[in-house]
Amino acid sequence: MYSISEIAEKVDISAHTLRYYEKEGIIDPVRNENGIRQFDEHHLQWLQFVKKLRETQMPVSQIKEYTRLFLEGEHTANARLRLLEDHQQFIRDQIETLLGTDDMLSKKISIYKELMEKSMMK
């Protein structure tokens, strides 16, 4: 079992964020007899997944919806699949945009480098 500070360090998120996720129903830590939050390996894996979703700009509202569906059980598998497929398409669209921007920037950088080389030759 991990304390809130230990799990926060392992996942590289703040204890404040963990408390927020608990408040929003995204995570449900076990409480010991003193009321102290404790996290296990399942929580660790779940939080790593949630972190990846957040890093790829999935809104907390969608993560909450995914969590709700997950907790409802297997009969929600299609809805969870659609949610994840939609997010994957969002990520792919972002990658396409970023690659296009990277290409444009590479061309612009080449132009500036050429200009600088020409001005140094004079």
Domain count, the chain: 2
- Residue 121: band (very low, low, confident or very high) from pLDDT cuts 50, 70, 90: confident
pLDDT over threshold 90, residue 41: yes
- In which domain, by residue range, is 105 found? 74-122
- Based on the domain organization, do 38 and 86 belong to the same domain? no
Of residues 24, 22, 52, 51, the one with CA closest to residue 38? 22
- The stretches of the chain forming alpha helices (DSSP H) are 4-11, 15-23, 41-55, 60-72, 77-121
Evaluate whether residue 64 is within a structural domain: no
Evaluate whether residue 82 is within a structural domain: yes
pLDDT in tens, 61-79: 999 999 999 999 999 999 9
The whole-chain average pLDDT of the chain stands at 96
Task: Supply 107's token pair.
Answer: 């061309």
> What integer is the mean pLDDT of 91-100?
98
- Based on the domain organization, do 119 and 79 belong to the same domain? yes
Say how far apart CA 94 and CA 56 lie, in whole Å: 9
CB 63 within 8 A of CB 54: yes
Where does residue 66 rank: exposed (0-12), middle (13-18), buried (19+ CB within 10 A)? buried
